[in-house]
Every structure is written in C-alpha cells, then in structure tokens.
C-alpha cells in the first residue's frame, strides 16, 4: 500500500492547514461495517441494518467510504444499494470510525490532508475497552491512501475524534474527563496537550468542559455532551432533573460556557438539548447476544447507557438523529429542526448502536470538501 506522508517535523498549522467545522461541506463520510461480537450482539444483524440505513441516508447527499472485512463483504452488499457507497476491503477490530479514522484538515488553496493520531482503545492498559487494536490503528493510513491524501503522523499522541469538536474559526471543545484521563497521555501536562491541539488542528482557544455524559465508557467524549451548531452557537446535553447524575455535569458545562467567549471573542448562544427522559439500560436479553473476549470490557444487566441526542451527525443538507423510543425523541427533533432550518432532520432507530457503546456520530467521520464553502 503506497502511502504519502508529510514531513514529520512539520504540523498542519505550520503548513497552513486547519480543521473545518462538521457543518461545512463534505466530500463524504467514513464508516466501518460492524462485526465485533463483544460490541454488536446476535451476530451484528440488527447493527448492520442500522448501519445500512445510516449509510444509505448519507449517500443521498454525499459519498460514503465503508471499510468492510473481506469475509463480511457479502453481508454489506446484501443491505446496501447506493452507488455512492464505496466498499473498501480492510481488516478492522471495531466500527467506531469517528475514533479510529483520520481527522482531516484543509487549507484555503483546495488542499486536504489527514491526521493519524495514536489509538489505544480508549485507555490502553489503564482502562482500555479491548486488548487488540492493531488493525484499528491502520485505518487512518488506509483511508488517506484510498482518497489520495497525504497525512501527518501525530503519534504517539493519543486522541480519538469523538473527544474534539471545532468551529472552524479557531475554537475547540473538549472535556477534562477525557483528554486528561490517565489512559490517554499521562506524561503530558494540560498545557502540552493544548499545544498539540493548536499545532495539529490550528485552533487558538480550547474550552475544557469538566465532564461528558454520565457513564460514558469513552471517559466523557465531547461528542456526547456538546457540539457546535455554527461558530458562536452550541447544543448542550441537558436534564432538568436535579436527582439525575447527569444534572451536575450539564450544569457545570452550562455555567462555564455562559462565562466564556470563543476564539473570536463571541459569547455563546447555548441550546439545551434534553437527554432521554427515561434512562436506557442494558437488558438481560441484550447481554445474551454478546461474546466477549479476554481483556474486553463487559457490560452488565441494568447498566445505564450514555444515551444522548448530541451524538447526531451532520451530513450535507441533513441531520442524522439518534432515536431511542423515548418521549424526548420528538423534542430533540424539534430543537434540531430550529437549529438547522435548512437541513432535513432524519431520525434513525439507534438503540442497537447505543448498546454497542456509542451512537451515530461515533460511527461516522466527515471527510471535508477540499474547497471551503458555506455552512450546510
């Protein structure tokens, strides 16, 4: 496999590249076909149906690049029909394209490059979720090679795509709970981590929310907690129930965001997006369908899942919104409709993705258009 790497001594910032907002135009979306028995129960049958629905919905508006193991290719071909979905044969350990895929940066001359972060399954030997992730570490090189994009090697810096959100104008959101966790970069100080983010994503201001969503096994990824609608405007996971363990987390984030400004000096417009009214938990029936391997994090009956409507995905001209069978499904769709009036709101039954450990945003990774355009 021929890969074009950039000079390891340079960074995107030094070369004039930056990470655009997810709401800006995409060329396409990276996804990975699910198969892991410890994440996707009952042979991943229901998960594949959900992934196929999401891929087809995205393909109506942009290209989809779907990694699939050779032995699983027939199952993908059976469920997928769009000629905008490109099947790329590759071995992978799991299907979290947000976290294992490359992060893409662009410049103002129509260039695009990827970033290859270190991936250690959300915590490595300290609290990682599975022991073997050799193939997952290969995903950034493989997608950049397929697209013909060169890439920056940011290793050994550990980072997952779900731990960052940017506004494309110099502001980055993350959480202390995640990026300062002992399983990521324990030898680096907070200031050193910030400098890595500045150099590789060309951001100027980093806003650290204290926590992510309650019981998030990724150590509090930002993409379950808060995201940009556009520069200066955010959506924040919320509950009014003071007895819910999420309340203090959301209140702390709201208070911080209410008293800070972005890289351009703007105060934030904050939209509260409610979490499901009723906690969504793992059932005994769910557990019977899993096959956990040695060293893999195992779920337990009654375990509360990190359900959040913030984990939607912005494809071109549409919003892929998780639907949980909760009364707040409708409330979330209405709020997003007001925040994104020019996009179609497309709710997708996503409980099966949630039981796998994440949601729609976690299984997708945007590939920005090479030429910067208006917000979509």
Q: For 231-282, where are the E strands, in sequence order?
A: 233-238, 269-274
**Buried b / exposed e across 246-274, counting CB within 10 Å, b at 16+?**
bbebbeebbeebeeeebbeeeebebeebb
144, 226, 318, 362: the catalytic one is 362
179 φ, ψ (degrees, to nearest 5):
-70, -15
**Buried b / exposed e across 123-153, counting CB within 10 Å, b at 16+?**
bbeeebbbeebebbbbbbbbbbbebebebbb
Cβ atoms 347, 329 nearer than 8 A: yes
N-term to C-term CA, the chain? 34
Measured in residues, the chain has a length of: 376
List, in sequence order, every residue forming a beta bridge with 322; answer none if it has no partner. Answer: 348
Which residues have a Cβ under 8 Å from the Cβ of 363 and sit 6 or more positions away? Answer: 31, 32, 34, 51, 54, 95, 96, 97, 98, 353
Any catalytic annotation for residue 281?
A: no
How many other β-carbons are positioned within 10 Å of the β-carbon of residue 88?
16
Q: How far apart are CA 156 and CA 167, in angstroms?
A: 25
- Give one DSSP letter per residue of 77-130, joined into a string: HHH---TTEEEEE---S---HHHHSPEEEE-TTS-EEEEEEE--TTTHHHH-S-
Q: How far apart are CA 131 and CA 106, in angstroms?
A: 33
Catalytic site positions: 362
């Amino acid at each position: 496999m021929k890969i074009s790497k950039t000079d390891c001594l340079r960074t995107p910032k030094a070369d004039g590249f930056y990470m655009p907002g997810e709401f800006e135009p995409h060329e396409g979306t990276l996804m990975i076909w699910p198969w892991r028995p410890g994440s996707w129960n009952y042979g991943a049958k229901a998960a594949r149906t959900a992934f196929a629905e999401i891929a087809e919905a995205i393909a109506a508006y942009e290209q989809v690049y779907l990694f699939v193991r050779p032995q699983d290719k027939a199952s993908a071909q059976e469920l997928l029909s769009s000629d905008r979905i490109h099947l790329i044969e590759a071995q992978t350990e799991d299907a979290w394209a947000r976290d294992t895929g490359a992060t893409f940066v662009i410049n103002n001359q129509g260039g695009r490059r990827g970033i290859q972060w270190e991936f250690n399954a959300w915590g490595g030997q300290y609290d990682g979720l599975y022991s073997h992730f050799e193939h997952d570490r290969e995903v950034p090189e493989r997608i950049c090679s397929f697209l013909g994009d060169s890439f920056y090697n940011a290793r050994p810096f550990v980072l997952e795509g779900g731990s960052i959100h940017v506004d494309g104008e110099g502001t980055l959101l993350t959480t202390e709970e995640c990026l300062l966790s002992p399983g990521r970069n324990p030898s680096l100080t907070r200031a050193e981590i910030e400098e890595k983010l500045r150099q590789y994503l060309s951001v100027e201001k980093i806003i650290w929310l204290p926590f992510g969503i309650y019981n998030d096994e990724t150590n509090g990824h930002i993409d379950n907690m808060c995201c940009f609608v556009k520069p200066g405007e955010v959506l924040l996971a919320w509950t009014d129930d003071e007895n819910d363990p999420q309340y203090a987390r959301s209140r702390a984030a709201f208070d911080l965001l209410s008293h800070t400004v972005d890289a351009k000096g703007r105060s934030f417009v904050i939209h509260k997006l409610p979490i499901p009214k009723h906690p969504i938990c793992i059932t005994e029936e769910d557990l019977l369908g899993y096959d956990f391997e040695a060293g893999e994090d195992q779920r337990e009956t009654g375990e509360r899942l990190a359900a959040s409507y913030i984990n939607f995905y912005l494809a071109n001209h549409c919003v892929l919104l998780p639907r949980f069978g909760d009364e707040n499904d409708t409330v979330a769709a209405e709020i997003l409709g007001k925040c994104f009036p020019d996009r179609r709101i497309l709710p997708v039954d996503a409980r099966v993705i949630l039981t796998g450990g994440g949601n729609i945003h976690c299984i997708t990774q945007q590939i920005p258009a090479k030429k910067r355009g208006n917000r979509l």
